[in-house]
Chains A and B, each alone.
Chain A
Amino acid sequence: MTKSENKTAKYNLKSSRASSLNDSKPGFIPIIVLLILWEIAARCDFVSKGLLPPFTEVLSQFYELIKNGILFENLAKSIIRVLAGFSMGALLGILTGTVMGWNKYIDKLFNPLITVFYPVPALGWLPILILYIGIGEALPIAIIFICSFFPVCYNTVCGIKNVDKNYIFAAKTMGASNIRILKTIVFPLALPTIFTGLRLEAGMAWRVIIAAEMVAIPTGIGALMMRAESLIRMDIIIVCLLVLSVMTFIFERFFIRIESVLTKWK
């Protein structure tokens, strides 16, 4: 390949990656149209202002909640819980999934357990966990851990198992050790599947933490929503929902970005 051909290939790769990222960016026009319609509907009293406050009033409440520190105080608690539970669940999920995908004996041992527990919704564990670990900081972290562990583990096992065996045979023929094959061939090839699990569960972790905080925990964004609900403060509820939506979006985007960096070879 000549130098100019090489440059063209690199350019094509960059532009195709950029266009694929652009394609996945959300279109802002429908959102703006929705916000305008919302504002008009509330201002013209099509809906009770108390139950659907105008978007501008929601923004002003958002500012108030930031100014008095309530939003950050609760958001920080939710973020810490999500980060702690998700990182533990995801790390252990990747580790267990890799071992299971690589070693068929360990897979046979753990697969029935994963098959049984994976379909149980994370919030289904809540009543048991309340009894076992009580209502405290450990509860939401444990729920997020469960929510992340099983899907990430399952995806990792699938990713590792689906790696083309010819690559492994070729590496073995050339004398590569098992660890080296795992590290340099199998794991990188399994990364896209692993990241699919991570990306989906990063969003799911936020949905689950909100539900857990609404049910049992007195602090965090979910608890703030419950307080607002009992005071019939729809503006605060909408602020919380918007924050939740943004956080889920940021977490999912973060993993898309990391994936695009780690799987450049694609």
Chain B
Amino acid sequence: MKKIAGLLAVLILISACQTKREKSIGMAVEFMNHAACAYVAREKGWFKKEGLRLSAYESYVTGMALASAMVREDIQIAYMCLIPAINVYANAQIPIKILAGTHKYGYGLAVNPNKIKNINDLQKRGLNIGCVREGGAVDVLLHKAMDKYHLNKAKVLKNIRRMNPPKQILAIKSGKLDAAFLPEQWATMAEDYGFKMLLTAKDVWPRMQGSVLVIKDDLLKKRPDIAKKLIAATEKSTAWINANPIQAMNIVSKQMQSTKGVLFPAKAAKLAGKLEINSKVLSRSMNRMDYTGNISSEIIQSTIDYMAKLGYIKKSFKAEEILYDKI
């Protein structure tokens, strides 16, 4: 009897260990070339090599959806833009830490050159300027641009039409937009429809942090080894992207469902499936970003302060609160 009980205990223990080992960690990845380093690390098997079992969710529609997924622990790691990450921390009050950067810049203002010749033209009456909703990275860049070039905010904001990037591209295709503040790769795609890149993030906000790698505090406390492994995989990946830009582009394009040389980013949204991105556009777009894992607390702090100034977060806080202290 004792032997049977012992055998059962061993079996239960083994199955419990097996379940624990098999449970993968949910990771959110933006469905854009901003997340190139996540795609490359996955393709090259660097996450697995570090002993990380991650299941990636490639499309999350809004910050709120991501925040709820983080609360439910469906997602515990995310490659996301810095500004929504600050929203998740400050507004949704979800304790997260930024482990590393993934790229700088990655946003731009594309305009119809027949209607808009210079930045001051954005104030003209009757224009339609596309931008994502308030609190998105591109929206914050729009405010930075208005500040930097001393534009009349009321006049510019009156022309703003809020819609997501794929919708903006469709609107550009059908001639409904005169300008669009977009994240990459959408900004470069707009050029393919006759638009001209009037400004990039580099012009408006020097050293602007693009995306970051974040982790939930709970997971970090439970498994502190994960941080080191994720940082290692991400840094290896960004270095590889810089050394092998064409292969990196091929990996990103593969993730966006490559068919006969034409890329269909159909996973992000059904709408995106209607759009085509060719590899030249993708390559040009990736060249507009600085892929680097380096992150400066100074630029994080200035982003937090600016968001507080805009009223997007209730009050400013110290960058150290959100930055992983062993970076």
A73 interface contact, C-beta 8 A: no
Q: Looking at the assembled complex, report how far the CB atom of A227 sits from the nearest CB atom of chain B, in whole angstroms.
A: 5
Among B93, B135, B160, the residue within 8 A (CB) of A231 is B135
B92 interface contact, C-beta 8 A: yes
Q: Looking at the assembled complex, report how far the CB atom of B175 sits from the nearest CB atom of chain A, in whole angstroms.
A: 13
Q: Which of B12-20, B62-70, B226-234 contacts A (4 or more CB under 8 A)?
A: B62-70
B288 interface contact, C-beta 8 A: no
Looking at A48, A49, A232, A234, which has the most chain B CB atoms within 10 Å of its CB?
A232
A138 interface contact, C-beta 8 A: no
How far is B91's CA from A234's CA once the two chains are assembled, in angstroms? 8
| Chain A residues within an 8 Å CB radius of B54 | none
Instruction: Using A49-B93, A50-B93 as known contacts, say yes or no to A231 and B63 having CB atoms under 8 A apart.
Output: yes
Q: 1/0 contact trace for A184-221 toward B, CB 8 Å?
A: 00000000000000000000000000000000001000
B203 interface contact, C-beta 8 A: no
Q: Which of B122-140 contact A (CB under 8 A)?
A: 132-136
Q: Are A51 and B68 in contact (CB under 8 A)?
A: yes
Q: Are A51 and B92 in contact (CB under 8 A)?
A: yes
Among A47, A218, A230, the residue within 8 A (CB) of B135 is A230
Among A48, A135, A227, the residue within 8 A (CB) of B94 is A48
B143 interface contact, C-beta 8 A: no
Q: Are B64 and A232 in contact (CB under 8 A)?
A: yes
Q: Are B87 and A232 in contact (CB under 8 A)?
A: yes
| Chain A residues within an 8 Å CB radius of B254 | none
By beta carbon, the residue of chain A nearest B133 is A230
A233 interface contact, C-beta 8 A: yes
Among B91, B132, B160, the residue within 8 A (CB) of A50 is B91
Among A48, A218, A226, A231, the residue within 8 A (CB) of B71 is A48
Q: Are A227 and B67 in contact (CB under 8 A)?
A: no
| Chain B residues within an 8 Å CB radius of A232 | 63-64, 67, 87-88, 91-92, 135
Q: Which of B55-92 contact A (CB under 8 A)?
A: 62-64, 67-68, 71, 87-88, 91-92
Q: 1/0 contact trace for B99-134 toward A, CB 8 Å?
A: 000000000000000000000000000000000111
How far is B94's CA from A227's CA once the two chains are assembled, in angstroms? 19
Q: Are A230 and B136 in contact (CB under 8 A)?
A: yes
| Chain A residues within an 8 Å CB radius of B134 | 227, 230-231
Among B62, B92, B135, the residue within 8 A (CB) of A234 is B92
By beta carbon, the residue of chain A nearest B135 is A231
How far is B321's CA from A85's CA once the two chains are assembled, in angstroms? 49
Looking at B62, B67, B91, which has the most chain A CB atoms within 10 Å of its CB?
B91
How far is B88's CA from A51's CA once the two chains are assembled, in angstroms? 10
Q: Looking at the assembled complex, report how far the CB atom of A47 sits from the nearest CB atom of chain B, in whole angstroms.
A: 8
Q: Are B92 and A229 in contact (CB under 8 A)?
A: no
Q: 1/0 contact trace for A119-142 toward B, CB 8 Å?
A: 000000000000000010000000
Q: Are A48 and B133 in contact (CB under 8 A)?
A: no
Q: Looking at the assembled complex, report how far the CB atom of B119 sits from the nearest CB atom of chain A, in whole angstroms.
A: 22
Q: Are A50 and B94 in contact (CB under 8 A)?
A: yes
By beta carbon, the residue of chain B nearest A237 is B64
| Chain A residues within an 8 Å CB radius of B136 | 230
By beta carbon, the residue of chain A nearest B84 is A232
B161 interface contact, C-beta 8 A: yes
Among A51, A135, A218, the residue within 8 A (CB) of B67 is A51
B173 interface contact, C-beta 8 A: no
| Chain B residues within an 8 Å CB radius of A234 | 91-92
Instruction: Using A226-B133, A227-B133 as known contacts, say yes or no to A233 and B91 having CB atoms under 8 A apart.
Output: yes
| Chain B residues within an 8 Å CB radius of A233 | 91
By beta carbon, the residue of chain B nearest A70 is B311
Among B71, B87, B135, the residue within 8 A (CB) of A51 is B71
Q: Looking at the assembled complex, report how far the CB atom of A237 sits from the nearest CB atom of chain B, in whole angstroms.
A: 9
How far is B132's CA from A21's CA once the two chains are assembled, in angstroms? 48
Q: Looking at the assembled complex, report how far the CB atom of A260 sits from the nearest CB atom of chain B, in whole angstroms.
A: 42
| Chain A residues within an 8 Å CB radius of B93 | 48-50
B291 interface contact, C-beta 8 A: no
How far is B162's CA from A232's CA once the two chains are assembled, in angstroms? 17
- Known A-B contacts: A50-B94, A233-B91. Give 15 more (CB < 8 A): A48-B92, A48-B94, A49-B93, A50-B71, A51-B71, A135-B161, A227-B134, A227-B135, A229-B133, A230-B132, A230-B133, A231-B134, A232-B88, A232-B135, A234-B91
The 8 nearest A-B residue pairs measured at CB: A50-B93, A50-B92, A230-B133, A231-B135, A232-B91, A232-B92, A230-B135, A48-B71
A-B residue pairs in contact (CB < 8 Å), sample of 25: A47-B71, A48-B71, A48-B93, A48-B94, A50-B91, A50-B93, A51-B68, A218-B160, A218-B161, A218-B162, A227-B133, A227-B134, A230-B62, A230-B132, A230-B134, A231-B63, A231-B134, A232-B63, A232-B64, A232-B67, A232-B91, A232-B135, A233-B91, A234-B91, A234-B92
Which residues of B come within 8 Å of A, CB atoms? 62-64, 67-68, 71, 87-88, 91-94, 132-136, 160-162, 312
